[in-house]
Amino acid sequence: MYRRNSPQPLVADAVGWFLEHAPEAAADLCARCEEALSLSASDSKLSLSVHHHSAGGFFDAAERSCLVCGYLCGKLPWKAEYLSPKTLESKVPGAPFSTYSVRPNRIEYRLEWLGESYIPGKGLVWSFPYPLNGNASSEVVVENPTYGLNVHFSTCTKPPAKRLPIPSSIGLAERAPQIVAWIHECERDHSICRSLKPAAAAYVPTRLLDLGTSKGSEVRLREAHECPSPCRYVTLSHCWGARKDWPPRLLMGNYQQMRDGLPKIPRTLLEAIDVSRLLGVRYLWIDSLCIIQDDPEDWRSEAARMAEVYSNSFCNIAATGSRNGSGGLYFQQNPRLEPPWTLYLKQPTSANARRAVISCDIPLDDEFGAAPLNSRAWALQERLLAPRTLHFGRKRLYWECCHSFTWEGNHQGARTVTQLNGSYQPAWVSPFIDVKLAFAALKLQSCQAETLQVQPVGREADAMSAALNLWEFIVETYCKCSLSKKTDKLIALSGIATSFQPLLQDDYLAGIWRSHGARQLLWKRSRGSSASDRDNDRAPSWSWASVDSPIVYPSLHHHSSDDYQAHIERHTFSGVDTARAPRASDFIEVRGKFERASLADRASGMSAGSRQLIVRSHRQVPTTVLLEMDVDEQDDVFDGDFPEYFLLALASYKQPSRNSRTVEGIVLERAYTSRVKDSFQRVGVFTREYDGEFLALPEKLVRIV
């Protein structure tokens, strides 16, 4: 299965591939990686050759400074110190630890003893497919992790005469040319970025930091009327971190002090100021210092302006790799540790040398997607609303605008908005990246067509349904992120909702779009997630914002036909104010098929934690219904008397793959503690086989709080 030996012996006295920045005596590649690179240079093709047969050989090569093995070793999130090579080899006899395949200009390495899966917003989740003790069972592994390296070969007439010292870090000075080049390209060549740029009117945030005109200038807080109009400013996205690590904040008690000059500037802000000055921008907006944090009225007012603040900025600076305000934008980085690498192979009979530029595959899942800032709920809104963002990651710098996504050292070409083919649908291969590009494409479509025409739900080809798909993907991604204050659940997405409102021309009801309530109300907890309680003070029970859990939407739009859909007829919201805080008196009224049902028993063969139950309705005919509850329940909830529930059907449809129909809806119970008379509250969703008698019931107007 695996080729174990080299197809050709390496010349013992040949000068190997070497890196320009390296210690003089360093071996930059191990023998197996030397072989792989030389094979690629000779346009050879090779499938599944042994890279390192043992874990010990792999880790030894990494420690001896092989660039590739060190890079792969750095990808292992499990702790190697707890899994010694001897332990690994005793558990997995016979199989090589790593393999490689070669084709022209590309080498692929595979770690045979590991498996992985991808969770959007969290990155790669690794598993060990072999038991580490006699009682453990192997995990199901879909695919072994594979890392591709792209190689561009050329001839170098003046190879380095000697190796250069390794720089201790890569900071702003080394990155300035790349940053300036990206900015200039965006302003010059990206028509979509120009089209979506707000008119030069004169939006100025309520407050900005004035950075002064030179590097030594005092940084002072300024009100809008003290700034030029129009005003070019940048924004800063950052993690606050644990309370003990919070950055300096603007408070009612230190307002005048901040106007006189910031007494202490944390590292992240200090380095963001340097980037602002590099861009020639004098003003900077940051939430911690431009919103009065202990003034609830000011906080609510400014939170409602997030869409304007970020949309009108020149650029967003994101401290993507930092966990708090003291982490900074730049990290100590050794250019040996991460691609791209430029290596040289001196020719014995020529003054020329062979040059190989090695770059990695798109580093999104385990680097960008799993970065600390990208797990923060507020940051998703900031990223989507900003016209362009410079992401300072732990390993590299990323660029993101309405046209493209790329990163320093990228030799593959940027991911661009044109690759979406107008679908506004993030591709699974890079969903966390495509969501920004899809959002930009949708906004451009709206600008060109003024508004999206409302079409019946289920027609995926029309722009309205595509816009809803994108909204639901954004909400699903958002609900995987964390919030320090759970009460921010709706407000931290209100800026994006504000951007969608003119596109959809619809009423916004605490996370739900009214005209598509039959689809939007059917959200449910992600399978395997937990939610201990719901908070109806921060959101009504019908809203996904009332639970602390990842959620998913149903795939109604994938079905071939809809037999029935319920409708939201009345509500207590203004419809256009996406930032309004929920009130105890809020409700929606849904007209749909409705019946009272008691739970008679669990379906046979179901476990105690299951919610597939026998429902006895007013007709006294037991029916099996799958209930999926919004919050976790104790195992003894269904012991003894069963609670009284009500089923409100929202949609029925025909399954395209089989000749059957399904009814989906929400599970309700009486809201005895609500201030709203004769009201119900949502407790879950249900699915049942098509029931003609049930759908023949008269519709009822049901009030939900």
Secondary structure of residue 366 in the 3-state scheme: helix
Higher pLDDT, 89 or 286: 286
Lowest mean pLDDT among 81-90, 261-270, 696-705: 81-90
pLDDT interval class at 479 (50, 70, 90): very high
CA distance 234 to 390: 11
- Closest by CA to 105, choosing from 439, 430, 555, 412, is 412
Q: What is the count of structural domains for the chain?
A: 3
pLDDT at 604 over 70: no
Secondary structure of residue 472 in the 3-state scheme: helix
What does the mean pLDDT of the chain come to? 80
The long-range contacts involving 291-300, CB below 8 angstroms and separated by at least 24 positions, are: 291/207, 291/250, 292/250, 292/251, 292/252, 292/255, 293/249, 293/250, 293/251, 294/249, 294/251, 294/252, 294/253, 295/252, 300/491, 300/579, 300/581
Q: Average pLDDT, stretch 325-334?
A: 80
- Closest by CA to 479, choosing from 436, 523, 519, is 523
Q: Average pLDDT, stretch 296-325?
A: 93
Cα 560–chain centre separation: 30
pLDDT interval class at 579 (50, 70, 90): confident
Q: Average pLDDT, stretch 520-528?
A: 89
pLDDT interval class at 132 (50, 70, 90): very low
CA distance 409 to 342: 11
- Strongest mean pLDDT among 60-69, 374-383, 409-418, 672-681: 374-383
Give the angle subtended at the CA of 71 by the CAs of 65 and 75, to the nearest 5°.
135
Give tens-digit pLDDT for 510-523. 999 999 999 999 99
Give tens-digit pLDDT for 419-431. 766 555 555 446 7
Shared-domain flag, residues 346 and 385: no
The 3-state secondary structure of 404-438 reads EEEECCCCCCCEEHHHHCCCCCCCCCCHHHHHHHH
Residue 129: per-residue pLDDT: 42
Classify residue 258 as left (phi > 0), alpha (psi -120 to 50) or beta.
alpha
pLDDT at 252 over 90: yes
CA distance 655 to 662: 7
Residue 341: per-residue pLDDT: 84
Shared-domain flag, residues 238 and 344: no
**pLDDT over 90 percentage in the chain:** 37
Give tens-digit pLDDT for 374-408. 999 999 999 999 999 999 998 789 999 999 999 88
- Which stretches of 184-254 are assigned E, i.e. beta strand? 207-210, 220-223, 233-237
Shared-domain flag, residues 313 and 347: no
pLDDT at 182 over 50: yes
Question: Is 11 part of a structural domain of the chain?
Answer: no
Q: Which residue has the tokens 């070409």?
A: 413
Q: Which residue has the tokens 């080049």?
A: 181
The two tokens of residue 680 are 């119900």
Shared-domain flag, residues 255 and 399: yes
- Which stretches of 264-372 are assigned E, i.e. beta strand? 283-285, 315-318, 341-346, 353-360
Question: Is 529 part of a structural domain of the chain?
Answer: no
Q: Average pLDDT, stretch 656-667?
A: 79
Shared-domain flag, residues 433 and 367: yes
Backbone angles phi, psi at 154, to 5 degrees: -155, 170
pLDDT at 451 over 50: no
Give tens-digit pLDDT for 49-91. 999 988 888 888 988 879 899 888 877 654 343 456 666 666 5
Q: Average pLDDT, stretch 358-362?
A: 76
CA distance 21 to 9: 28
Shared-domain flag, residues 367 and 218: yes
CA distance 625 to 606: 12
Question: Is 524 part of a structural domain of the chain?
Answer: no
- Closest by CA to 89, choosing from 46, 59, 127, is 59
Question: Is 105 part of a structural domain of the chain?
Answer: yes
Q: How many C-beta atoms surround the C-beta of residue 297 within 10 A?
A: 8
- Strongest mean pLDDT among 73-77, 178-182, 367-371, 463-467: 178-182
Residue 501: per-residue pLDDT: 85
Question: Is 239 part of a structural domain of the chain?
Answer: yes
Shared-domain flag, residues 263 and 115: no
Antiparallel, parallel or unpaired: β 283-285 and 551-552: unpaired
Shared-domain flag, residues 347 and 371: no
Helical pair 267-278 and 172-189, crossing angle rounded to 10 deg: 50
- N-term to C-term CA, the chain: 62
Give tens-digit pLDDT for 24-55. 556 789 999 999 998 888 877 877 899 998 88
Question: Is 522 part of a structural domain of the chain?
Answer: no
Residue 43: per-residue pLDDT: 79
Q: Which alpha helices (H) appear in 282-421, and where do they start and end?
A: 287-290, 296-303, 306-311, 377-385
Secondary structure of residue 493 in the 3-state scheme: helix
Residue 600: per-residue pLDDT: 61
At which of 455, 485, 505 does a domain end?
505
Question: Is 175 part of a structural domain of the chain?
Answer: no
pTM here is 0.80
Classify residue 505 as left (phi > 0), alpha (psi -120 to 50) or beta.
left
Amino acid at 301: S
pLDDT at 223 over 80: yes
The two tokens of residue 188 are 């010059």
Structural domain containing residue 686:
544-704
Shared-domain flag, residues 211 and 161: no
Cβ atoms 705, 541 nearer than 8 A: yes
Question: Is 272 part of a structural domain of the chain?
Answer: yes
Shared-domain flag, residues 495 and 396: yes
Residue 119: per-residue pLDDT: 44
At which of 505, 527, 554 does a domain end?
505
Shared-domain flag, residues 560 and 501: no
- Closest by CA to 51, choosing from 103, 9, 11, 4, is 4
CA distance 248 to 261: 13
- Strongest mean pLDDT among 291-300, 350-359, 550-559: 291-300
Shared-domain flag, residues 463 and 349: no
